[in-house]
Amino acid sequence: MGLFDGLREVLGIRAETDATRKADPDDLFGMSTAYVTMEAELGYEAVGEAALCFSEVDSADFSDAVEEVHEILEVGAEETGTETEAHTDDYGYSWVILRDDDFEDLVTSLNFAADTLMERGYGSRLLAALFGFRDTTDRQKGGRYAYWVYSFRRGAYYPLVPKGTDDRDESAEFKLESKLDGELDLEENKEYWYALLPSTPDSHPWE
C-alpha cells in the first residue's frame, strides 16, 4: 500500500467512520506537557518543527481559507518568531510546516491553523498534525527521528518512529505509547498507526 492509498484509507473516510471520538484542535495542546516528558524522561529532544497535513479542495473558498491560515500565522510570527512554509508533496497533499525553537509556540500556531480550517467548514480535509523529536540517547544511529501524530479523523495520537524510508521501529513506538498513555489521548487500534514515512533517509515526512 502506497502513501496515497494509505492516507486515503487509514486517515481518510474509513478512519472517520470508525472514529470513537470527535477530533478537536484543542487536543494539540496536550503536547505542551507531553514534550516535557519526552525530553526529561525519555531523552527525546524536540527538533523545533511541526506540520499540519490536509487534502485540498478545488474551490475559491477553500483557497481563501488556506490563505487566511497563512495570514494568521504570519501575524502571529511577529510575536512568536515562528517560521511558516507551505508545501505540496508528490501525492498532492498539502502541508503547513512550522519552525520554532519554542515548542509551545509550535503547538499554539498549529492549533490556530487547524482551528481556522475547521471554523471555515473544512475540518473534514484535515488529516494529521505531526510533532518532531530526535532520540538523543541513540547516538550510534545518529539520533533517530520520532514523531507524535494526531489523526484528525480519529481524534487521537499515536507514535511514529521511522527506520529509513520503508520501515518503522515498533519497539520504540510501544515504549512511547506506554510512557505517554494517560498524558495524551492515544489511538488504541494499532491498525490506525499509519506509517507516514519520509521519502528520503534522515528527513521528515513533510519534506
pLDDT tens for 162-189 read: 998 889 999 999 999 999 999 999 999 9
Q: Which residues contact 175 (CB under 8 A, 6 or more apart)?
A: 42
Q: Which CATH architecture has domain 3-192?
A: 2-Layer Sandwich (3.30)
Sign of CA dihedral 127, 132, 135, 140: positive
pTM: 0.88
Q: Is the pLDDT of residue 40 over 90?
A: yes
Q: What is the pLDDT of residue 143?
A: 79
Query: What's the pLDDT tens digit per position in 112-138?
Result: 999 999 999 998 899 999 999 999 886
Contact of 107 with 32, CB cutoff 8 Å: yes
Q: Which residues contact 9 (CB under 8 A, 6 or more apart)?
A: 1, 15
Spell out a b/e string for 65-74, using b for 16 or more CB atoms within 10 Å of the CB, else e.
bbeebeebbe
How does residue 139 score in pLDDT terms, banded at 50, 70 and 90?
A: low
Q: For residue 189, what is the DSSP state?
A: -
Q: Is the pLDDT of residue 16 over 60?
A: no
In angstroms, rounded to a whole number, what is the distance separating the alpha carbons of residues 144 and 138? 7
Q: Is the pLDDT of residue 9 over 70?
A: no
Q: What is the pLDDT of residue 38?
A: 96
At residue 164, what are phi and psi to the nearest 5 degrees? 70, -145
More confident residue, 6 or 73: 73
Q: Which three cell numbers stand for residue 115?
A: 482551528
Q: What is the pLDDT of residue 89?
A: 83
In angstroms, rounded to a whole number, what is the distance separating the alpha carbons of residues 133 and 161? 10
Q: Is the pLDDT of residue 5 over 70?
A: no
> Mapping DSSP to helix (H, G, I), strand (E, B) and coil, where does residue 23 land?
coil
CB atoms within 10 A of CB 166: 8
Q: What is the pLDDT of residue 57?
A: 85
Query: For the chain, how long is the longest CA-to-CA vector?
Result: 49
Interstrand relation of 83-88 and 126-135 (parallel, antiparallel or unpaired): unpaired
Q: What mean pLDDT comes out for the span 6-19?
A: 47
Q: What mean pLDDT comes out for the span 84-105?
A: 91
Q: What is the pLDDT of residue 140?
A: 56
Q: Is the pLDDT of residue 101 over 60?
A: yes
In angstroms, rounded to a whole number, what is the distance separating the alpha carbons of residues 3 and 198? 10
